Structures are given as C-alpha cells and as structure tokens.
Amino acid sequence: MTLFQLTLKNLRRRRTRTLLTIMGIGLGIGAVVALLGLAWGLEDSWSDAYKARKTDLVVRRSAGGLIAQPFSEEITTRVRKVPGVAAAAGLLTEVLSIEKVPMMVVSGREWGSFLWDTLKVVEGRLPKDASERGVVLGTLAAEMLEKKPGDKLGLEIDEFEVLGIVDGGAVVENGSVIVALPILQEMVLKEGDINFVNVRLNDHDADPHTVAKLIEKQAPGCRVDIASEVLSQNDGVKTFQAMNWGTSIIAILVGAFGVMNTMFMSVFERTREIGILLALGWKRSRILRMILLESVSLCLAAGIVGVLAGLVMLKILEFMPWMQGRIEPAVSWQLISLALGLAVAVGLGSGLYPALHCTRINPSLAIRQL
C-alpha cells in the first residue's frame, strides 16, 4: 500500500469528521473566491469602461468614495490647456433609484465631447443637442428598465423620453442611463459641477505621469490617476478590499483551527498504530510525511469544494438586481490557483504541529496503550 493510499484510508475512517472539516475550510476558501471575484470584477468593470471611452487620465477630487465629490466644471477648461492633453471631457456621475431599479448609474456627459463618440447606437438615436430633454440607455439598462426608444422614463421628479439604446463597450457603460451634462446638473441641483474629467493624451509625445503632475498643478484639490489604475487608488475601493481580505482571513483561520483539531484527534486516536509503524522500522520522517499528506489532502479537497461553492455564489450574485450593469464578477485561473494554493498552504500550516508531535511518540509506550 502506497503512502497516498494509506492517507486516503485514514481519512475515510472518520468520514463524518472528514466531511465536516472539508466543509469548514471549504467555507473559508469559498469566501475568498466570492469576495475576491467581486473586488477584481469591480476593478475590471470600471477599467473596461475607461478603455471603452479611450480615456488615458481621470481627474477627480483627492478624497472620496467610488462616486467622487463634485468640483467646478471650469477645471475642464484648465485641463485642456495643459501640454500633452489632446482632449478633456467633463462628467457628472450619480447613483439614483430609477422606477423599479433601486440603484443605477446616471451619467451626465459634456455635450460635444469624445465621451459621446464611443457610444454605438443600437436602436433609436442620440440627443440632437445638449438641451434636448431625453435620455439614452445602455443595453443592460434598457433590459433592466424594460424600456425602448419612445418610452417615457421617470428620473427624480421629471419624466424623460428614451431617445435611443447604445452599446458602450463595457458593462458599466451598458448599465448606465446617459444624458447631456446640463440636464443631470439641473436634475440633482449641481449646476456648474462635475465629479470627473476624462482626459485623452497626444499619442506620440505625452508621458502620462508627467501630464498628470501638470494637471494637478492646474487643479488644486484634485488628483489625477492613470485610467487603468483609478480604482486601485480609490479610498472606497481600498476599504472594500480590506474588508474582503479581513473577512476571508477570519474564515480561513477558523477553518485552519478546525483542520489542526482534526489532525490532533487523528494522531491521538492512532498513537498505538503509529507506535507499531515506528517499531516495524518506519522512519519518523515518513510518519511526518504521512500526517502532512493527510492534512494537505484534506485541505485540497476543501479547496476544490470551496472554489466550486465560490463560483456558484458569484454566478448567483451576477443576477442580483444591485449587481447588474455595475459589476461583472471576475473569474480567472489566477483566482482559482490562488484559492487552491491557499488551501494547500493551510493544510501544510495546520498539519505541521500535529505531524511534529507525532514524530516524538515513543514506540514502546505507544504500543502498550490499549
């Protein structure tokens, strides 16, 4: 019988305990998969939105959550004058309750800016000018609101006509209600304010970091981020990620103590058996490997269960109303590898002390235990 076969036989001896331990550590691994899938999905969704807009830099308030604090749209004019800037577009973004959808991104875009050029009309049309009181819906937003061109849409205390449905090339864009900037400013009582400036750079001679520093000098109280790094630098997202890791670590630690307890009980119950193996000539290093292999096998099985559970949770969350059009959970081999690697690490860490304890057993004393 090989060492691996012996390991499986030992784990099958106490099937209920083994299954409960797998469920315990699997819960922690599942939490890691689900929470990291959400966090990475949030970053990817907004990063894809900036790519779809062909935005290189993003100007926003120095402090604030995911939806930044407002500032004067006059900043956009200053940004346009900075060397290396090809175009700048003001943007006001709000999260509002719209009809039966509790939370939806409403995007007020500077009229005539490149932010309108990246929208592909699927049905209907775009507004004729900045004063036309109509809205454009992303494809996902149209599905959620069950609207088509010509329908009426209630926004705050006003009613607007749905002019068209567009494909913005990213889940955040497609899940948004899009209007001309002055209309949203009037609607939310923020005349003259925006909370983002999207910046495009000259293709050849503009260094993003250099231009970002020049813009910050022209926009006191604002910070400038590379578009692909916006969310990783956001205070709200950092807090969200810290909470995710904190929750995951607590769940993993609870599971790890469960594995350690299981392995200690297994060693205690098999003290006489281990003594016999030592008396028959088994090296203590082989006993050590056997216990560690049991612990790692237990946690690897839990890791597989946890990954499957986490993926199921992400799939369920993907269809939740508050997720649609805002976050597309990220599922990748990197995430799965991280989860399984974490499971193996927990197995090694949890099984090491019981395994070392096992190698100190005195064979003659162990055999006399009945």
Can you tell me the distance from the alpha carbon of 343 to that of 339, in angstroms, rounded to the nearest whole number? 6
Q: Over its length of 370 residues, how does the chain's per-residue pLDDT go in tens digits?
A: 576 676 677 677 777 877 888 888 888 888 888 888 888 887 777 778 888 888 999 999 876 555 678 999 999 999 999 999 999 999 999 988 888 888 888 999 999 999 999 999 999 999 999 989 899 999 999 988 999 999 999 887 788 999 999 999 888 889 899 999 999 999 999 999 999 999 999 876 778 889 999 999 988 888 898 887 765 566 666 676 677 777 778 877 887 887 888 777 777 777 777 777 777 777 878 878 888 888 888 889 999 999 999 999 888 877 776 666 567 777 888 889 988 998 888 888 888 888 787 777 666 665 665 4
* pTM beyond 0.85, yes or no: no
Tokens 């790519």 label which residue? Answer: 51
Number of C-beta neighbours around residue 166 at 10 A = 26
In the chain, where the domains are located: 3-45+237-367, 63-220
- Which residues is 112 bridged to in the sheet? none
Contacts of 130 (CB under 8 A, 6+ apart): 111, 112, 180, 181, 182, 183
Percent of the chain with pLDDT over 90: 33
**Strand locations in 215-323 (E):** 222-226
Q: Measure CA 31 to chain center.
A: 12
Residue 59 DSSP symbol: E
Among 95, 63, 55, 50, CA closest to 79? 55
Per-position DSSP letters for 311-340, written without gaps between them: HHHHHHHHTSTTTTTT------HHHHHHHH
pLDDT digits (tens, 9 = 90+) for 306-330: 999 999 988 887 777 666 656 777 7
Contacts of 350 (CB under 8 A, 6+ apart): 256, 257, 259, 260, 263, 295, 299
Sign, CA torsion 191/79/64/93: positive
pLDDT digits (tens, 9 = 90+) for 176-230: 999 999 999 999 999 999 999 999 998 767 788 899 999 999 888 888 988 877 6
Can you tell me the distance from the alpha carbon of 341 to that of 348, in angstroms, rounded to the nearest whole number? 11
CA–CA distances in Å: residue 169 to residues 47, 139, 176, 200, 212: 11, 10, 12, 18, 26
Residue 232 DSSP symbol: G
Can you tell me the distance from the alpha carbon of 48 to that of 46, in angstroms, rounded to the nearest whole number? 5
Q: Are 149 and 183 in contact (CB under 8 A)?
A: no
pLDDT value of residue 237? 63
Question: How far is the first Cα of the chain from the last one, in angstroms, to the nearest whole number?
Answer: 25
Can you tell me the distance from the alpha carbon of 45 to that of 335, in angstroms, rounded to the nearest whole number? 16
Q: Are 310 and 29 in contact (CB under 8 A)?
A: yes
* Residues 52/58/62/63 CA torsion (nearest 10 deg): -10
Give the phi and the psi of residue 195 in degrees, each rounded to 5.
Answer: -125, 0
pLDDT value of residue 365? 63
Q: Strand 177-180 and strand 101-109: pairing?
A: parallel
